[in-house]
Amino acid sequence: MVSLKQPCAVRWLSLHRAVKAMKHNWPAVVMELTEEALRGNAKAQGLLGQIQSYSFIAMTHALSDLLPVMTKLNLVFQKDDVNLSSIRPVVQASVAAFTQFRDAPGPEEETFLAGYEDGKYMDIKVTNASDRSIQAFRKVRERFVQHLIDALQDRFPEDCLDLLHCFDTLLNPRRYPPTQNGKKELFFVPLIEDIGLLCPIIL
């Protein structure tokens, strides 16, 4: 079973693949574990009790909404030559997406909620699905998503995003003006002034 630790300690790409596979194969996994449990396999019985619970199924679908956002963010930083100009928009977009998922279910979670009826999902009985358990899951889910938001904002505070923008302006050759004589010198005067305003620690 995959366990959730602090966001910075999780291998998000691997977790994304595992969650995607579990969501797709969940009915088949339940059937296989049920057969093994009927043969007296205690381990299968224990696993079955976990993956048939409301919280497990709901969290699998919630993670199916959340993990693509985190995967996209991770891929940006895994490139050999990270484009500094891309960091601010991808971080801000990730925070906005997580905020939306914190406040309301995403499309994958909505699919589960729409299919869950009379204590069953995909014609399979869901366990631990009392109103109290459902409310407890919602609170855990909200706290987890808020933790993702807090972790991103702690690692990329607004002043650091401004700093990265400054470095991109300074170091990205695509931002350089034409190389005619005198043009670069005129360019760096306002550039240094801008850096002094946004990133006084540099000067």
How crowded is residue 176: how many other Cβ atoms within 10 Å of its Cβ? 14
**What domain count does the chain have?**
2
Cβ within 8 Å of residue 120, ≥6 positions away: 126
Specify the pTM: 0.76
| CB-side neighbour CA atoms (13 Å) of 38 | 6
In this structure, the answer to whether residues 113 and 194 fall within a common structural domain is no
pLDDT tens-digit map of 93-148? 999 999 999 999 999 999 999 999 999 999 999 999 999 999 999 999 999 999 99
Kindly indicate the confidence band of residue 2, based on its pLDDT and cuts at 50, 70 and 90: very low
Structure-token pair, residue 165: 């923008």
In this structure, the answer to whether residues 96 and 48 fall within a common structural domain is yes
In this structure, the answer to whether residues 150 and 199 fall within a common structural domain is no
Residue from 133, 100, 143, 134 nearest 6 by CA: 143
With beta carbons less than 8 A apart as the criterion, state whether 69 and 15 touch.
Answer: no
Q: Which domain holds residue 92?
A: 7-156
pLDDT tens-digit map of 8-46? 455 777 889 999 999 999 999 999 999 999 999 999 999
